[in-house]
Amino acid sequence: MKKYLIIITTLSIGFSSYAQKPDMVLSLDEAIQIALKNSYNTKASKNNVLSAKETVWETTASGLPQISASINYQNFIKQPVSLLPAAAFDNTASVVETVEDYFDIQSNRDPASPDGFIPVVFGTQQNLNASVTLTQLLFDGSYLIGLQASRAYLKISEQANKKTELLTREAVVNAYGSVLVTEKSIAILEGNITVLEKNLEDAKKIYENGFNEQEDVEQLEITFGTLKNQLHNMQRMKGIAYQMLNLSIGVSINTSVILTDSLDSLAETNINLGLISEPFNMSNHIDLKIAENDRESKRLMMQLEKSKALPSLSAFVNYGKQAFSDTFTFFRGNQQWFDSSLMGVSLNVPIFSSLGRRAKTAQARIALETSDIRLEETRQRLSLLAEKAKNEYQLSIENYTTAKRNVELSERIEKKQRIKFFEGISSSFDLLQAQNQLYTQQQNYVQSMLEVIAKKAALETALNIPIK
C-alpha cells in the first residue's frame, strides 16, 4: 500500500509541475525579437510594405500590354421590325408576288411600283459574338510620373516599417520593465510586511506587560494594514503588467510567461554614459528620411497633375467571331462562323476642363509647400528630441545612483529607530517617520531602475540606433 502511495504522489507531483510549466521563458532581448516578428504593429506595418509593392506593380502593369476577351449572346424574344419602302423592290416576278400579296393587288394587272412601306425582319433570332482585344499604351505623360510616385510611396512604407520596429523595441522594453517593477515591489512589500508583523507582535506583548501605550500598537497596526493593501493592489497590477507585455510582443494575453532578467541587472547593464556623448547624425535618421520621401511624393503628385494636360496615345488589335441562328445551334459542328478583325490607334487630347486641372495642380502645389514646412519642422524637432532624450537619460542615471544610496541610508535609520522603539528610547511617531521614509525611498529606487531602462530605450529611438 505504501508503494502505491509513493507512486501516486510522484505522478501527482509530475502532473502538477507539468501543468504549471510556463508557455514562454523570455529574456528582454528574446522578447524584443519575438515582438519584431509577431507584434500587431509590426505585422500591420509589414502588410503596408507588401501593399505598397503591389501598388508599384499595379502602376507598372498599366503601361504594359492588356488583353481582354468578351462573349456576347443575344436571343430576341421579339425581333425588331424595320419598314422599307415598297418601291425599293425590283419588279421581278418574286418581288411582284410578294408585293401583290401584301397590298392585295390583282395578278392580271401590270406590275407597278406600289406606295407605302413593307415591314421586314432582318437577321436571326439568336446570335453569338466572341472577341479578343489587345491594347498597348504608346504614350501617356502621367504614366512615368505615376510610376515614380508609387516607388516613392514604397520607400515611405519601408521606412515606416523600420520606424515601427524602433517603437516596438521601446514599447517592449517599457512593458518588460513594468513587469519587473511589480515583481520587485511585491518582494519589497512582502519583506516589509514580514518585518512589521514581527514588530507588531512584539509591541503587543510589550503592551500586555504594561511597558508601552496602546497608541504604539495601533500605530503599527495602521502601517501594517496600509502595507497589506499596497501588496494586494500590486499583486493585481502584476497580472495586468504581464498581459500588457504579452500584448506588446504579439501573443495571447493569457500566455504564461517567466522573465529571466532581473530589474537590478537590467538597470546596471543599461547604464551607458557613452550614449550621452554620442554625436547625433540627423542625415540618416529614419524620421528625416520619411519626411524627405514624403516631400518627394508631393512633388511628383504636382508633376502628375500637370502631366494630365498632355495627350495620350494607345494602339489596339481586335479579333472576333460571329454566328447566327434561329435556334441555339452554336456548339454544333455544322454551325457557320464569320471572322472579323480590326486594328487601330486612339489619341486622346484634353482640351478644356473648366479649370478643374488647374485647381488640382494648385492643390498639389500647396501640399508640396506644406511638406517643405513639415520637413524643416522635422529637422528642428529631431535635434530637440535628441538633446531632451540625452538629458533625461543622464538624469535617470543620477536619480538611480541617489536612490540606491538613499535606500541604504533609510534602512539603517529605520533599523536604529526600531531598536530604540523597543528599548523604549524613542516614540512610535519616530519609528513611523523612519518607516515611511524607508518605504518611500524603496519605491523611488524601484522606479529609478525602470527609468534608467526606459530612458535608454527612448534615447536609442531618438538617436535612431539600429536594433541588434
Domain that holds residue 60: 26-67+140-310+355-462
If one counts every other C-beta atom within 10 angstroms of the C-beta of residue 464, the result is: 20
Domain count, the chain: 1
**CATH number for the domain that contains residue 253:** 1.20.1600.10
Q: For residues 33 and 248, what is the distance between their CA atoms, to the nearest angstrom?
A: 12
Q: Is 263 among the domain residues?
A: yes
Q: Is 391 among the domain residues?
A: yes
Q: Is 205 among the domain residues?
A: yes
The pLDDT of residue 178:
96
Q: For residues 395 and 400, what is the distance between their CA atoms, to the nearest angstrom?
A: 8
The pLDDT of residue 110:
55
CA dihedral sign, ordered 170, 234, 188, 425: positive
Q: Is 152 among the domain residues?
A: yes
Q: Is 328 among the domain residues?
A: no
The pLDDT of residue 225:
94
Backbone phi and psi for residue 254, each to the nearest 5 degrees, phi listed first? -90, 5
The pLDDT of residue 19:
43
Residue 140: CB partners within 8 Å, gap ≥ 6?
Answer: 63, 310, 312, 313, 314
| Ranges of the chain whose pLDDT falls below 70 | 1-21, 88-114
The pLDDT of residue 407:
96
Q: Is 369 among the domain residues?
A: yes
Residue 326: CB partners within 8 Å, gap ≥ 6?
Answer: 124, 125, 126
Greatest alpha-carbon pair distance for the chain in Å reads 155
Q: Is 9 among the domain residues?
A: no
Q: Which three cell numbers stand for residue 192?
A: 516589509
The pLDDT of residue 120:
86
The pLDDT of residue 104:
60
Question: Which pTM does this prediction carry?
Answer: 0.80
The pLDDT of residue 102:
59
The pLDDT of residue 242:
97
Q: For residues 285 and 307, what is the distance between their CA atoms, to the nearest angstrom?
A: 33
What secondary structure does DSSP assign to 276-328, as a single string?
HHS----TT-HHHHHHHHHHHHHHHHHHHHHHTTS-EEEEEEEEEEEEEESSS
Q: Is 116 among the domain residues?
A: no
